[in-house]
Amino acid sequence: MVNGNNLISEEHFEGKRENLNSPAEDTTNKKTAGKEEDIGFKELYEQSLQSVQLGEIVTGKVVQINSDVVMVDVGWKTEGYIPVRELKDNEGNISLAVGDEVEVLVDRRDSDGNLILSRDKAVKIKIWDDVKNACEHNIPIKGIIVERVKGGLSVDIGIPTFLPGSQVDIRPVRDLDKYVGQTLMFNVLKYDRKRNNVVLSRRSILEKERVSAKKETLESIEEGKILEGVIKNITDYGLFIDLGGIDGLLHVTDISWGRITRPSDNFSKGDKIQVKVLSFDREKERVSLGLKQMTDNPWENIADKYPIGSVVEGKVVNLTDYGVFVELEPGVEGLVHITEMFWTREIKHPSKVLTVSETVKVMVLDVNSEAKRISLGLKQTTENPWEALKQKYPEGSIVKGVIRNITNFGFFVGIEEGIDGLVHVSDISWKQNIKHPSELYKKGQEVEAMVLNIDVENEKFSLGIKQVDKNPWDEKNFLYATGSVIKGKVTNVTDFGIFVELEEGVEGLVHISELSQKRVKTASELYAVGDTVSAVVKSVDLQNRRIRLSIKDYETASEGYSVNQYINNKENVGSNLGKVMADVKIAESEKEDDVKP
């Protein structure tokens, strides 16, 4: 064994000393002894050159494994030991066996003169040598990314090193955590052994690989060729595909024959994808790619495949405020507008009744192959309740219902489940001029109405309240013939005359020129709202519901003009003038009777 501070065993030297000082030597053997002595010192010198030195890294062989140390033969019958703690893994097992070779550092001697060896220090020294060599000669080294740290990543190459975030990839990386645990190759940017600092770069390796890949890609790329790439970036207008050193654009319109609104819904960064080269500008190095071009165009002869009126099955792929998109086949979608979903049921959003991926039966309503649009209907696959409604409620029939909603143009009356009839404001009354239906009706009130019309195609149900009663303007019901005398109240005074109510809902106009035999500047000089007047009916327009009255003619007749004179007047007041005069006389006599006590 080696002991003391000597590198060669003392026993070896003791043996040599005994041979040199032996008393049995004679003078005849001096020459031979001298030669042997020369040989012995030569061997000793050579052995001293080959013996281990402190601080030296040597390769030894495991000769014995104990509980606390592992004995290693480092050559020339020299043994040392490694503390077993350096050789245990995380589970406490020793990875070496007797006979295995191991690189160690001859560290120091213990108090008994035995060599203490260190594998950890040998590894670190060798790593630093590798780091120096890698940095000086631009040689990649392997390492495992351990964790994310401030500004980058920590990498284990046998010693802790630092990988800046800017050196992780060619493009900026937002999520560094995804690299943790990966084993990659790196270049050494710089190192400082004294400060135990090493800075790595992966970007430089990728750039070099990209240049090489780009050269190969440019040599092989051509229009119509199918290539495999990796999705590098996703935007609203398409995907950028890394084809190997060069990027190509897969525009959103070239992704699918169907509708693609957001590419991010269908693709993810890092996905591999096969694409077709549509065009290539070698000068600008621009590549246009297509995905749908790798399949047949399903819109060719689409009208023959999906004739109008046919019922087909499809899958719900998207729900919007205005309807549902149904996929009939890959690349072919049709829209079921919200108005085509149900005959009578009202829904705020299609998601209330349908879900994505649900299978539905729909009817083809329209096909536009040029615009690549198909209109579909869901309600058309069920019985139309409006057809049954028309049979149940013929025009002219009387129905009862509850007012469900009131608007400024009328109110809706509930007749059947999900079907309302509209009473327009103009169909509420013959007699009253109604500005808003709420003047007469309230929500929840029950009303009786007449069926005016049922439009099955447009799904409209028209009702009338006034039609339940007789129309006072109907010729057979009209009571005011031309030439007859009427008495009524002034309802309105205007610049051009006064309106007189003959009965509820029936008014006539006395023009300012027909107010008096005298010249009148304004109607308000003679009459006010609420005054009772008598007048002669000059003309009647039943179609437009207009009655012209004349107080002047009434006054003229009252003054005693003969019937013939009145008839020969410029405006003929009709054959009822005799009755007019009689009515006037009777009225005057009644007035006199009332005055008598």
CATH number for 221-294: choose from 3.10.520.10, 2.40.170.20, 2.40.50.140, 2.130.10.10.
2.40.50.140
pLDDT-derived band at 77 (thresholds 50, 70, 90) equals low
pLDDT digits (tens, 9 = 90+) for 223-266: 888 988 999 899 989 999 988 888 899 999 888 887 787 888 88
> Could you give the CA distance from residue 508 to residue 500 in angstroms, rounded to a whole number?
5
- Residue 398 DSSP SS3: strand
pLDDT digits (tens, 9 = 90+) for 522-546: 888 899 999 999 999 999 888 788 8
pLDDT for 60 equals 83
Identical fold for domains 385-468 and 485-595, yes or no, is yes
Structure-token match 């070099």, residue found: 208
pLDDT for 504 equals 75
Flag whether pLDDT at 301 surpasses 90: no
CA distances from 283 to 218, 287, 313 (A): 11, 11, 49
Helix (H) or strand (E) holding 115: strand 115-118
Angle of helix 30-50 versus helix 10-20 axis, rounded to 10: 170
pLDDT for 72 equals 82
CATH of domain 302-381: 2.40.50.140
> Could you give the CA distance from residue 311 to residue 376 in angstroms, rounded to a whole number?
9
Indicate the fold that domain 57-120 takes in CATH: OB fold (Dihydrolipoamide Acetyltransferase, E2P) (2.40.50)
pLDDT for 561 equals 47
> Could you give the CA distance from residue 379 to residue 323 in angstroms, rounded to a whole number?
13
- Residue 83 DSSP SS3: strand
pTM for this predicted structure: 0.41
pLDDT-derived band at 560 (thresholds 50, 70, 90) equals low
| Domain locations in the chain as residue ranges | 10-47, 57-120, 221-294, 302-381, 385-468, 485-595
pLDDT for 447 equals 92
pLDDT-derived band at 2 (thresholds 50, 70, 90) equals very low
Angle of helix 551-558 versus helix 577-595 axis, rounded to 10: 70
Average pLDDT of the chain, as a whole number? 80
Indicate the fold that domain 385-468 takes in CATH: OB fold (Dihydrolipoamide Acetyltransferase, E2P) (2.40.50)
pLDDT-derived band at 222 (thresholds 50, 70, 90) equals confident
> 302 with 373: CB under 8 angstroms?
no
Instruction: Show the tokens assigned to 55.
Output: 């601080």
CATH number for 485-595: choose from 3.90.550.10, 3.90.1150.10, 3.20.190.10, 2.40.50.140.
2.40.50.140
pLDDT digits (tens, 9 = 90+) for 454-467: 998 888 899 999 88
